[in-house]
Structure 1
């Protein structure tokens, strides 16, 4: 069931240390390049990734409407991980205590919570792929040492 919404505005990226997230780890000092990534998102990477994701997601329109209503998309974070030569991300999610928080009147089952959380994770990955494949041409900040063992033999 694809999502039939137009691409919403891309998130505004905040200056958060990615190591503060439970689902991300960046090794070494790095320039997260958020300003440049945010520019790429606004120049079309977000819309392109959203359209590809929306056509293939298991999240339905009702679940996506909840995402929009509680403004989850603005809590995405994307950053450059120069050590791993990749775009990292943090996807927002519905917390485990969603029932106690009464986040949304239509949020009424673990199946919906799981679909939203999985769908946003997939959207984050899609955005990273579009950014890396079509927008970013940065070189990794780190080079492997010359004395690494050769495992090809």
Structure 2
């Protein structure tokens, strides 16, 4: 099933979040408050990681166009967050969820199962974009992610 919608703008990753808010992320003392990886991730999203991940996701998602419109209307795409996890050397993400005030889809009640299904599809989008960032954009020789060039002695 292909979702026939335009690719929205990527989330901005406007401000750093507390790394402790992410599952299995522990920020080391020497890198506390370091925004360089976050800024690099935001740039990678703008440079095509978001488009590539979204394109792959929309080719396989079960989300309907009406459900996506609801997601877009409630600003959930902007609520995605991606974070470099230095402990595991991978990209973590936080997928958005609906606030309690969202209860209808096209005037019909939005059931708990529908709501959960949409949020699961958003989680899948986050996973795919995270994988695109890790495999196609983050170079293990880049110092911005705590790696060091092989040329250094």
What are the equivalent positions in structure 2 for 1:1-153 lying under 5 Å apart? 1-13=1-13, 14-21=15-22, 24-29=23-28, 30=31, 31=34, 33-95=37-99, 98=100, 101=101, 103=102, 105-106=104-105, 108-138=110-140, 141=146
Alpha-carbon distance in 2 for matches of 1:15, 1:104: 30
- TM-score, normalization by structure 2: 0.80
Counterpart contact for 2:76–2:96, Cα < 8 Å: yes
Residue 44 and residue 82 in structure 1: after superposition, are their counterparts in 2 closer, same or farther (change >3 A)? Answer: same
Q: Report the alpha carbon displacement of residue 141 of structure 1 after superposing the two structures with TM.
A: 4.5
Alpha-carbon distance in 1 for matches of 2:140, 2:17: 21
Q: Report the alpha carbon displacement of residue 17 of structure 1 after superposing the two structures with TM.
A: 0.9
Alpha-carbon distance in 1 for matches of 2:88, 2:136: 18
Q: Which runs of 4+ in 1 moved over 6 A?
A: none
Task: Please list every run of 5 or more consecutive structure 1 residues that lacks an aligned counterpart in the other structure.
Answer: 143-153
- TM-score, normalization by structure 1: 0.80
**Deviation string, structure 1 residues 112-148 (Cα, Å, up to 9, x no partner):** 2012100110000000000000000136759xxxxxx
Q: Report the alpha carbon displacement of residue 40 of structure 1 after superposing the two structures with TM.
A: 0.3
Q: Report the alpha carbon displacement of residue 3 of structure 1 after superposing the two structures with TM.
A: 1.4
**Deviation string, structure 1 residues 36-66 (Cα, Å, up to 9, x no partner):** 0000000000000000000001111111111
Identify the residue that residue 150 of structure 1 maps to in structure 2: none
Task: Please list every run of 5 or more consecutive structure 2 residues that lacks an aligned counterpart in the other structure.
Answer: 148-153
Alpha-carbon distance in 1 for matches of 2:66, 2:40: 33
Aligned length: 135
Alpha-carbon distance in 2 for matches of 1:125, 1:63: 19
Q: RMSD of the alignment, in Å?
A: 1.9
**Deviation string, structure 1 residues 62-82 (Cα, Å, up to 9, x no partner):** 111110010101011101111
Counterpart contact for 2:19–2:27, Cα < 8 Å: no
